[in-house]
Each structure stands twice: as C-alpha cells, then as structure tokens.
Amino acid sequence: MSLRIHFTCDDLARTIVAPEPDPLWEVLLSLHLLQSDDDQLLFGRWRRHVRRQLPAGDRRLLDLAPPDGYSPDFLTPSESADGFEQGLAAIVQTPTARLATELSRLVGRGQLSAWMRHLPSRPRSTPHPQPNRRRTSPVGKCRRRRDRRGR
C-alpha cells in the first residue's frame, strides 16, 4: 500500500525536520523489523544475532509491537525527542486509562498477551533519568504541545 501526500508551499514552510532520530521510535521500528522476514539480505544476519541474544524477559516487548498494524502510542511519547531517559520516564508515567485504552486496541486484533492484561493495574516505579545535556529540541516542544492537546 502506498501513500501519497501533497504539500503546498505553505505546508513545506511550516515543516520541521527533527535534528536526530527519536530514540523510542528507533526502538519501536527495530522491534517491528526484528519480527519481519523482509529484506533478508540486508537484515537477516542482524535479526539472527539479536534473536539469539535477546533475553526472554525482553522478548515480551515484541508482544507490544507487532510487526504490522497497530502499536500502542504510549511507546513513543513526545518526551523522547529530548532523550531516551526522558522518553522512558514518560512511558512509566503513562496514565492508567490511556494504557488500558491503547492496549484494548491490541485485544481487537487478538494480540493481548496474559502479562499485558495486568499492565494498567500494576504499580509503576519512576525511573531516574540521567541529566540530558542536550537542549530541548523544537520538535520535542511541538510534539509535547500536540500530546497535551490530545493527539
């Protein structure tokens, strides 16, 4: 399926390109790629290596990020534009109602594992993010404003 987007000159003038990749989007897309068999020549060796090395507990993340279709939005919070630690802290602080709503979308596809059913009701600890030496990026600020408006 291809998607064609038409930009006007005004659209292009308002377009902001991130100064660097978002770390949690990179994680999510890597999880998708890890579960796919596409592009074997390019990614086959990497997949075999990671699949062998991935600890069993970490394999549960694959349940949250199916290789196609919906992945919960709470996995890619706008705060991750300011750094990996800030993004992880935002995931931990995801409101229970949002967790339940987004996980319920996986239920519709028959993809909710037993451990994920209890995720919204589990107590969560706050990670201790490392100080970020980068300044807040304009992209991060825009994404946070969009998130506060309700996506």
Give pLDDT tens digits for 36-67: 988 889 999 999 999 999 998 888 888 888 88
Query: Helix, strand or coil for residue 32?
Result: helix
- The answer, yes or no, to whether residue 31 has pLDDT greater than 50, is yes
Closest CA to 63 of 20, 101, 100, 114: 114
Q: Report percent pLDDT > 70 for the chain.
A: 75
Give the pLDDT band (50/70/90) at residue 133: very low
| pTM of the shown model | 0.70
3-state helix, strand, coil in the chain (%, to 5): 60, 0, 40
Q: Number of helices (H) and strands (E) in the chain: give both, helices first.
A: 9, 0
